[in-house]
Amino acid sequence: MSITLDDDAEEIAGLLPDGRPDPAYAAELGLVPASKGKRALAFTIDAVIFLAIVSPILIGTIPLFIGVFLLNPDPRVWIAYADFRLALILYAVSQGVLIIFTVIQFILHGVKGFTIGKIALGLRNVNVKTLGKPGFFRIVLRGLLINAAFVVVPYLGAIPFLLSSLWDPAKRGRAWHDRIAGTWLIDIKAGLDPYNVKLMRLARKRVAAPKPEAEAVALPSLATGTEWGGPTFVPSARSSSGVILGAQHDAEEAWEAPELAGSASGAAATSAAPKAPAAPPIPPIAATPPEPRIPTVAAPTHTGTTRPPVEPAAPQVGQALLTFDDGARLGVAGGLLIGRNPEAGPTDTGKQLMQLDDESRQVSKTHAELIVDATGLWLVDRASSNGTSVTTPAGVEFSLDPWTKTRLEPGSTVAIGGRRFTVTEG
């Protein structure tokens, strides 16, 4: 249940076809609902502050009012008593402070999404549809609902509202007053802070970006057209050794071609020639020895089973040097996966792994990939939660699109979460 207070009609991402917010979209962005314990503790902190402000009424004014009443129950003469005048001053001061405190709380809550108790625990309130600031009138409506419950049933009326977060159909911990006002309380310490405009923009771009294909399409068997009992040939079975063996096999066939051709032609001549009757013996005739033949093409002598080696050209691999903001340095050759706890996938064989500590907790498990080859330096954001940005040596800053291979200029600075490092060619 929600109430419409939005004035703009812009298209909002992350809504279901019926207009309701999609919890899966918010979870993919990295937003984490506030836990029940933190919600209760934040409410308690705000309540304690409220009691501290109204305590002058309880401590100072009530005893004075009672004393004046006992002296003279006629209200028309109370103003003549100094204690009554002091009680009025204390009451007015406490009410003025309470009003100022309440207004400030509503403004901060509507514009920034927090109260004193909420900001102390790292909680923020957002508009459940836009995931932006909730707005002043939504927070006022939310507060009026709680206060009305207190008026209907003093001290106990708000308890059902607070407990209603336990049976939120969307499993996001939203109580009745949150659902009616269209707000949502989230934990920015455990997840993404939607009030960080840059991080939120990067998270939306990451979710909207097309996802890479999980698996490559399998190739047909190399034995197509024949009866083949072995396994089907798939791309993952390809290797450089296969290419080397193929080249060597071609060389072997070329090397053995003269022998095979000679034997084949001899066999063909033998089988094709008709048998003739034996001729009478011819007496030997003395003749001069023939002149030696000089072959026009010299063929290499082939003995045994040794074949001429076929060696592939070694690939050229570049090198890079990473200098981190804490002074640490790391040499990279080939590929490097960087993150909170990077994990190599099926296509990441042979890549280095770099575990990066970050107190801001904005680094994803496998955040980015650095590629160093003969063509230069490249960087890929691996669909991180908080994005990756680059600052060129000329001072131009830009953000990476997820899964897009981007060239790096030597001397560029890369920002990952709260950490930075400079990349130079080594």
| SS3 of 114-171 | CCHHHHHCCEEEEECCCCCCCCHHHHHHHHHHHHHHHHHCCCCCCHHHHHHHHHCCCC
Comparison of pLDDT for 291 and 132, the residue scoring more = 132
Helix or strand or coil: residue 61?
A: helix
- C-alpha triplet 175, 362, 337: angle, nearest 5°: 135
| Domain annotation covers residue 226 | no
With 60 as the cut, is the pLDDT of residue 250 above it? Answer: no
Last residue of a domain, one of 174, 195, 216: 195
Q: Which domain holds residue 392?
A: 319-425
Look at the block and give the residue holding tokens 């003969």: 374
Together in a domain, 323 and 189: no
Mean pLDDT (the chain) is 74
Together in a domain, 323 and 191: no
With 60 as the cut, is the pLDDT of residue 336 above it? Answer: yes
Average pLDDT over residues 371-392: 91
Q: From residue 362, how far is each of 202, 323, 358, 417 by CA, in Å?
A: 12, 20, 7, 5
| Domain annotation covers residue 350 | yes
Last residue of a domain, one of 195, 220, 242: 195
DSSP single-letter state for residue 78:
G
| Domain annotation covers residue 336 | yes
- C-alpha triplet 270, 276, 281: angle, nearest 5°: 110
Comparison of pLDDT for 71 and 15, the residue scoring more = 15
Average pLDDT over residues 76-100: 80
274 φ/ψ sector (left φ>0, alpha ψ -120 to 50, else beta) = beta
* Confidence bin at 154 (pLDDT 50/70/90): low
Comparison of pLDDT for 279 and 174, the residue scoring more = 174
Together in a domain, 59 and 191: yes
Q: From residue 61, how far is each of 47, 50, 53, 70, 293 by CA, in Å?
A: 21, 17, 13, 14, 133
- DSSP for 95-114 reads HHHHHHHHHHHHHHHHHTS-
Average pLDDT over residues 280-291: 51
The lowest-confidence range among 19-23, 256-260, 401-405 is 256-260
Comparison of pLDDT for 7 and 95, the residue scoring more = 95
Which residues are paired to 406 by β-bridges?
379
* Confidence bin at 91 (pLDDT 50/70/90): confident
With 70 as the cut, is the pLDDT of residue 127 above it? Answer: yes
With 70 as the cut, is the pLDDT of residue 44 above it? Answer: yes
State residue 208's pLDDT score: 81
Q: From residue 279, how far is each of 110, 275, 284 by CA, in Å?
A: 121, 12, 14
With 90 as the cut, is the pLDDT of residue 145 above it? Answer: no
- C-alpha triplet 27, 33, 39: angle, nearest 5°: 175
State residue 276's pLDDT score: 46
How many domains is the chain partitioned into structurally? 2
Average pLDDT over residues 188-204: 86
Helix or strand or coil: residue 231?
A: coil
With 50 as the cut, is the pLDDT of residue 226 above it? Answer: no
DSSP single-letter state for residue 77:
G
State residue 216's pLDDT score: 46
With 90 as the cut, is the pLDDT of residue 380 above it? Answer: yes
State residue 259's pLDDT score: 42
- pLDDT per residue as tens digits for the range 156-173: 666 777 777 787 787 788
- pLDDT per residue as tens digits for the range 17-40: 888 888 888 888 888 888 888 988
Question: Best-predicted range by mean pLDDT among 202-216, 261-275, 401-415?
Answer: 401-415
User: Can you give the pTM of this predicted structure?
Assistant: 0.50
| In contact, 123 and 151? CB cutoff 8 Å | no
| Domain annotation covers residue 410 | yes
The lowest-confidence range among 222-226, 243-247, 305-309 is 243-247
Together in a domain, 32 and 180: yes
Q: Give the phi and the psi of residue 175 in degrees, each rounded to 5.
A: -80, 180
| Domain annotation covers residue 245 | no
| Domain annotation covers residue 173 | yes
Together in a domain, 40 and 187: yes
Average pLDDT over residues 242-247: 35
With 60 as the cut, is the pLDDT of residue 105 above it? Answer: yes
Q: Which of 118, 172, 120, 110 is nearest to 141 (CA)?
A: 110
Last residue of a domain, one of 145, 178, 195: 195
pLDDT over 70, % of the chain: 70
The lowest-confidence range among 23-37, 105-119, 161-175, 278-292 is 278-292
State residue 73's pLDDT score: 77
Helix or strand or coil: residue 371?
A: strand
Residue type for position 175: A
The lowest-confidence range among 56-60, 254-258, 331-335 is 254-258
Average pLDDT over residues 341-362: 87
| Domain annotation covers residue 384 | yes
Rounded Cα distance, 417 and 260, in Å = 67
* Confidence bin at 174 (pLDDT 50/70/90): confident
CATH code of 348's domain: 2.60.200.20
State residue 252's pLDDT score: 40
Other CB atoms closer than 10 Å to residue 41's CB: what's the count? 16
| Domain annotation covers residue 13 | no
* Confidence bin at 406 (pLDDT 50/70/90): very high
Average pLDDT over residues 196-225: 66
With 90 as the cut, is the pLDDT of residue 202 above it? Answer: no
State residue 366's pLDDT score: 93
